[in-house]
Amino acid sequence: MDHTNPNSFRFAPLRRAAYRLSVTRAEQLPADDGAEVAIAGRSNVGKSSTLNMLTERRALARVSRTPGRTQAINVFDLDPGQRLVDLPGYGYAKVPEALRRSWGPLLEQYLRRRGSLRGLILVMDIRHPYGPHDADLIAFAAGCGRPVHVLLNKADKLSRGAAIQEMARLRRIPELHGVAMQLFSAQSGLGIDELHERIASWLTPEAEKETPALAGANSESSKGGEDS
C-alpha cells in the first residue's frame, strides 16, 4: 500500500489492474476463486471515469467502452486472486430489446451465484440518483446478501452543503438503510481514499484491520481531505 501523504490511502493492486476478458455468459467467467469487487451503474453516471481514477489507467476503461463490450462483464486482474469486475451499464436507450433482456439474467446469475464476489460498488449521479434500475439492483443485491457501496458521483457539480443534504435525504429512504454511501467525484478525486479503503477491505480482510477508521468512513468527517 502506498502512503504518499498521511491522509491518503491507496490500495496499490488497483494500479496494477490488467484487462483479462469480456464475457456475455456467466459460464465464460474466470474460475470462481479468490476475491472480486464489481462495479455497476446506469450509463453516463461516470462508471468509466471512476474506473480510470481508481486504477490510474486511462486505457483500462477504454477497453470497457469498446463497442460490444459495454453490455459485457469485463474482468480485470489485480494482484493474484483479486479481480475488479465491470458490470454492464444499464439504461442504454440504444440497446435492442433482445439484448436488454439478456443482461438481467446475466447480472442476476452473477450476483446470485458468484462465490468470490465480495461486494458491489454502485455509481450514481448525485444530481439524479436512485432511479428505478438502481432500486432494482439494490433490492436484488440485498436479497442475495451482497454488500453495496454507493458512490454519489459528480458531487463536484453541487455545493458541499447541497451534496451532504442530498446524501442525508437518500439515507432516510428505507430501502437504502444499511447501504453504505459516500460523496464522490471521478473528476476531482473527492472521496477517493474512502473508496480505496472499501475495496481494500473487501479484497484483503487484513487491510480492514490496518484501517480501523473504515467503520466510520461513511460519515463525512472521519477522514480529513474532503472536509475543507
Binding site for ligand GDP (CB under 6 A): 41, 43-49, 89, 153-154, 156-157, 185-187
Beta bridge partners of 41: 123
Question: In this chain, which residue has its C-beta nearest to ligand GDP?
Answer: 46
226 touches 151 (CB < 8 A): no
Q: Residue 43 or 109: which CB sits closer to ligand GDP? A: 43
Q: Residue 112 or 127: which CB sits closer to ligand GDP? A: 127
Give the other-Cβ count within 10 Å of 162's Cβ: 13
Compute the least distance from the CB of residue 53 to ligand GDP, in Å: 8
Instruction: Write out the E strands in the chain.
Output: 18-23, 35-41, 73-77, 82-86, 117-125, 148-153, 180-183
Beta bridge partners of 74: 22, 86
- Which helix or strand (DSSP H or E) is residue 78 part of? none
Compute the least distance from the CB of residue 15 to ligand GDP, in Å: 19
Compute the least distance from the CB of residue 97 to ligand GDP, in Å: 20
Helix (H, G, I), strand (E, B) or coil at 127: coil
Q: Residue 46 or 119: which CB sits closer to ligand GDP? A: 46
Compute the least distance from the CB of residue 51 to ligand GDP, in Å: 8
Compute the least distance from the CB of residue 131 to ligand GDP, in Å: 13
Q: Residue 176 or 186: which CB sits closer to ligand GDP? A: 186
Q: Which of 226, 180, 221, 223 is nearest to 202 (CA)?
A: 180
* Residue 83 φ then ψ, to 5°: -135, 150
Give the other-Cβ count within 10 Å of 59's Cβ: 9
Compute the least distance from the CB of residue 92 to ligand GDP, in Å: 9
Q: Residue 122 or 217: which CB sits closer to ligand GDP? A: 122
Half-sphere exposure of 131 (CA within 13 A, CB side): 14
